[in-house]
Structures are given as C-alpha cells and as structure tokens.
A = this chain, B = another copy of it.
Amino acid sequence: MARWEPGARTRLQAVALELFAARGFDDTTVTEIAQAAGLTERTFFRHFADKREVLFTSREPFEQPYLAGVAAAPPEASPLDTIATAILNAADFFALERRPYSRQRQTIIDAHPELQERELLKLASLANSLAAALRERGITEPTATLAAESGVTVFRVSFAQWIAAGEERSLDQIERETFRGLGMLTTSANASRIDVTVTP
C-alpha cells in the first residue's frame, strides 16, 4: 500500500469547493482544506500557487480545446470565423451534466472579487493565446487581438446566460446566437464610419 492516497490535487479541489460553498471563501483557511483532504498546508501550496487557484483549471488543459479549434478551422476562414470555431469547439466541455457544478462554482466566484480577478486573468490569458494562434496563421495585428478578444467576450456573455436560472439551452446554442448578436451590433452601428473620410 502506498504511503499516501493518490489524487491529492483532485481531492483538494473537491474539498475546497465544498468548504467554500458551506462557509464562504474568506472563512475557510488553507489549513482546513488540507486537513479535510488528509494533507498538510504545505502540500496544498505545492499543487496550487495560491488559495484561489484551487478553483481553476490550470492553463494548458483549459486552453487546449480552444487552440485545437483554431487548428481545425479551414485556412481560408476569416479571423472571427476562426475564433468562432474555436469557441464552439470548446463548448463540448461544458456538457449539460456539468451545469450544476458550474453554477455552484460561479456562485462562489460571484461573491468574491478576488476570485473574479483570477477568472478574468484566465480569460485574458486565453485571449492572448488565441491571438497568438491567429498570428501564426498570418493574421496581423490589431485584427488578431481584436478577433480573439471579441470571441472571448462572446464566450463570457454566453457562459453567463448558460448558468442563469431556468436556462435550458446548450452552451453551443447560446454561443451561436451571441455571435449573431455581435454581428448585428456592428452592422447597425456607424462606429466603423466614425471618421467619415475613410470607408472600407
């Protein structure tokens, strides 16, 4: 028999979510989380750089499905279509069964600005990675960043909808409608002609 139980990381994440939901983020100490998982505080910090990080998927696995989606888009696709493919591809990972978990997790995050900060950083990092992937496909700046950021915005807005009480549509479906909404936004705007002298 092993000296320690395997899956320490997963155990810490599960226990942390429970404790945060029960008593709140601030009133749960790292020591308590570690003890509840049968580990010590020091081990917690070996797995997670800080207390907040236990609620988030680490960068590589989180971004992978999005980057795979970029790679899967046809070479002739427009920048925004490429990003849309990426966002929609990754939507599979938010299957319907996952919704209750996502809701509980988001309730905790919504109640704590410091957790919102971390979430925003993760999404900003995703946008950066997507922009870099577009640049490797020959898209120049600032188009690459603009397309990547817009795609992440669509994801963010759609995800909030998906989590909302009573919502039953799939994330995929909501995202398609949000992308359509984004297109209509700029069509009905004069923003692209604000400087009347120059037109595409």
Given contact pairs A84-B194, A117-B118, A186-B187, A181 touches B143 in the complex (Cβ within 8 A): yes
Closest B residue to A199 by beta carbon equals B176
Contact A157 B182, beta carbon cutoff 8 Å: no
Which residues from chain B contact A186 at a C-beta distance below 8 Å?
Answer: 80, 182-183, 185-187
Count residues of A near B (Cβ-Cβ below 8 Å): 47
What is the count of identical protomers in the complex?
Answer: 2
**Among listed A1-9, A24-32, A35-43, A148-156, interface-contacting one:** A148-156
- Interface SS of A by simple majority: helix
Which residues 63-116 of A have a CB within 8 angstroms of B?
78-81, 84, 88, 113, 116
Which residues 147-200 of A have a CB within 8 angstroms of B?
147, 149-150, 153-154, 156-157, 161, 176-195, 198, 200
Which residues from chain B contact A61 at a C-beta distance below 8 Å?
Answer: none
